[in-house]
Amino acid sequence: FNEIVKEVSSFIKKIGFNPATVPFVPISGWHGDNMLEESVNMTWFKGWTKESKAGNKAGKTLLEAIDAIDPPSRPTDKPLRLPLQDVYKIGGIGTVPVGRVETGIIKAGMVVSFAPSGISTEVKSVEMHHEQLVEGVPGDNVGFNVKNVSVKEIRRGFVCSDSKNDPAKEAASFQAQVIVLNHPGQIGAGYAPVLDCHTAH
C-alpha cells in the first residue's frame, strides 16, 4: 500500500495534482473491506487525510473519501460558454445543437452566437434528458432548439455564447499549459501535433 501511495503520488505530482489533496484508501471489493465501513482486517491502516478548500478532512472508508470530494464551482455569473458536442436535425423541431454548459446560463429567448462562424440566432427552448429547462447552468448537458440555422452552418467544436454578453471570438493565439503523458517519438522543431481544445479537433 505504501509503495502504491508513493508511486501514484509521484505520478500525479508530475501532471499537476497536489498529492496532499488526494485521499488514499486501501479497499477490498471482494469482501467489502473499507468500502462502507471500517475494515477489521486492516488494523495497520490509521485512516486517510486530505487538504481541501474547506480545511483538512479525514476518514477511514472509501464512502467517506467520496463524500469528502469538494463539489465543482458553478460559475453562473460568467458569460455563457457552451462548446458544441454535436448538432442534430430533428423532424418537426429543427436544428438542435447539444453540449455541456461550461460557464454562464442558457435559456429560451436568448440571442446566441456561434464562434468562429459568427452566426447569431435565438434559442427557442432548452432541454436536458428530454425535459424542458427554464435555464441550463454549468455542468448541464443540454440540447437547445435554434431558429433559422441549418445543421450545415454549425458543427462540433463551435462555441455557443450570449451575443449580448462578451461573445466568444476566434483567437489568433492562446497560452496553454501542455502536459505530455507518454509520446512514442522525439518532439523537435517542426513537430505538428493534433490539437484538441474543448470539443474542437
d(CA 82, CA 97): 10
CATH, domain range 82-162: 2.40.30.10
User: Which of helix, strand or coil describes residue 81?
Assistant: strand
How many CB atoms are closer than 10 A to CB 181? 7
Residue 154 pLDDT: 94
- pTM for this prediction: 0.70
- What are the structural domain ranges in the chain? 2-67, 82-162
DSSP E strands: which ranges in the chain? 48-50, 57-59, 82-90, 94-100, 111-115, 119-128, 131-132, 141-146, 159-162
Among 18-22, 75-79, 160-164, 191-195, name the one with the lowest average pLDDT.
Answer: 191-195
pLDDT tens-digit readout, 77-108:
999 999 999 999 998 889 999 999 999 999 99
125 beta partners: 145
pLDDT tens-digit readout, 15-29:
888 999 999 999 998
Cell numbers given for 107: 435559456
**Residue 179: is its pLDDT beyond 80?**
no
* DSSP output for 10-61: HHHHHTT--GGGS-----BTTTTBTTTB--SS-TT---EEE--TT--EEESS
Instruction: Report the DSSP pairing between strands 141-146 and 119-128.
Output: antiparallel
Cell numbers given for 136: 441550463
pLDDT tens-digit readout, 114-158:
999 989 999 999 999 989 999 999 999 999 999 899 999 999 999
What kind and span of H or E run contains 97? strand 94-100
pLDDT tens-digit readout, 4-16:
999 999 999 988 8
Averaged pLDDT for residues 61-66: 95
What's the gap between Cα 122 and its chain centre?
A: 26
